[in-house]
Amino acid sequence: MSVFSDIPQAPPVPVFKLTADFREDGHPQKVNLGVGAYRTDDCQPWVLPVVKKVEQLIVEDASLNHEYLPILGLPEFRSAAAKVALGDDSAAIRENRVGGVQALGGTGALKLGAEFLRRWYNGVNNTATPVYVSAPTWENHNGVFADAGFKDIRPYHYWDAAKRGLDLTGLLDDLEKAPERSVFVLHACAHNPTGTDPTPDEWTQIAEVMKRRNLFVFFDSAYQGFASGSLEKDAWAIRFFVSQGFELFVAQSFSKNFGLYNERVGNLTVVARDNDNLSRILSQMEKIVRTMWSNPPSQGARIVSRTLNTPELFAEWKGNVKTMADRVLLMRDQLKAKLQALGTPGTWDHITQQIGMFSFTGLNPNQVAFMIREKHVYLMASGRINMCGLTSKNIDYVAQSIHEAVTKVQ
């Protein structure tokens, strides 16, 4: 008998199981609206032209080698990542109280931040600090903080299903009632899975309560630039909170906005009270990284760093990102228009009011099951769809399928 014979079979990760089911489906009109990755109008992955250009520059650069990077990562990548999040004119950067740690994607940045907070925030090794995540949220948020040792992970109100928008009243009430020094994971833009973001005025109200209640801000920024096409607009919340004097973390991912999904390029940007605090924070993060991945990989970080630090490449990248964002916005407009033309019951304004890669359609689990079983349109059980999976060739079929699901299934 194996020493591992008592290990139970773990359930599959839903979004990857959905993709596997899609691949096995032989239906000629099948559509995958599940996995969170950009697709062209031909439903193909897109290697950004600027990425191809920079990869060639790296190949031809005889000065590069495969020596270990520093534990905290490629310095010029870390500083450029912080600058793109906080802005060129960031007072916090000028005051030398911003640092960064290169991580294995946005997930790695979240993991590092969670491990640090459990060890050193609100006392030493305090696993009882409440961690709040939005209801709903990206499912990995719960797992990352639970695996870091936090025992009290709570939902905060976010999605109002009745009005298909933000439940600001519920959110503010949860902030008021949360114990002081609780950690709140906030989506910087393009909320996953709802696609619903607070307005600047609503962010201002959220910040006022969080500051007064002494709550810790941990931004997850996975879609900067990709959401609206504007780096500045998508970073508005982060920059506002920093301007209000918050010490905070920002988990950054460059998977979506650079198309570098399998390179695992992330950064944990730290905004501290002053340089002395920053130095001590980074010293402890270095110790955590040493036992998790020891040193980060270089290729993806070099691509991002070279792009962000070279003005003409940076301008080209912003154009590439806008190309992706504009296609998603176009698909939103067209899907809403087609559902309205079909006379599909209910309101569909939320499709264009939401932003980013995902849309929370409002379809219930029975309707989702009908979509998959009868129409071969694959989406998450929550009703979340990836707008990038829509193309000029399949959008009529998807709209008709949604119409049938809504009219035939309760």
Encode 127-190 in three state secondary structure. CCCCEEEEECCCHHHHHHHHHCCCCCEEEEECEECCCCEECHHHHHHHHHHCCCCCEEEEECCC
How do strand 165-166 and strand 159-160 relate by DSSP bridges? antiparallel
Beta-bridged to residue 103, according to DSSP, are 266
Compute CA distances 404 → 339, 345, 397, 408, 410, whole Å: 11, 10, 11, 6, 11
Number of H helices, E strands in the chain: 17, 13
Q: Which helix (H) or strand (E) holds 399?
A: helix 395-408
- Taking 90 as the threshold, does the pLDDT of residue 123 lie above it? yes
Of 84 and 361, the one with more pLDDT: 84
Which residues have a catalytic role annotated? 138, 220, 256
Please state, in angstroms and rounded to a whole number, the distance separating the CA atoms of residues 4 and 25. 34
Q: Measured on CA atoms in the order 248, 254, 256, 258, is the torsion positive or negative?
A: positive
Q: Which helix (H) or strand (E) holds 321?
A: helix 311-342
- Taking 90 as the threshold, does the pLDDT of residue 37 lie above it? no
Q: Say if CB 376 and CB 33 are below 8 A apart.
A: no
Identify which of 200-204, 352-356, 387-391 has the greatest average pLDDT. Answer: 200-204
- Taking 90 as the threshold, does the pLDDT of residue 356 lie above it? no
pLDDT digits (tens, 9 = 90+) for 129-149: 999 999 999 989 999 999 999
Beta-bridged to residue 104, according to DSSP, are 265
Q: Is 31 left (phi over 0), alpha (psi -120 to 50) or beta?
A: beta
State the DSSP code for 180: T
State the DSSP code for 272: -
pLDDT tier at 36, thresholds 50, 70, 90? confident
pLDDT tier at 197, thresholds 50, 70, 90? very high
The rounded percent of the chain whose pLDDT value lies above 90 is: 87
pLDDT at 330: 94
The rounded percent of the chain whose pLDDT value lies above 70 is: 100
Please state, in angstroms and rounded to a whole number, the distance separating the CA atoms of residues 9 and 12. 9
- Taking 80 as the threshold, does the pLDDT of residue 35 lie above it? no
Q: Say if CB 138 and CB 223 are below 8 A apart.
A: no
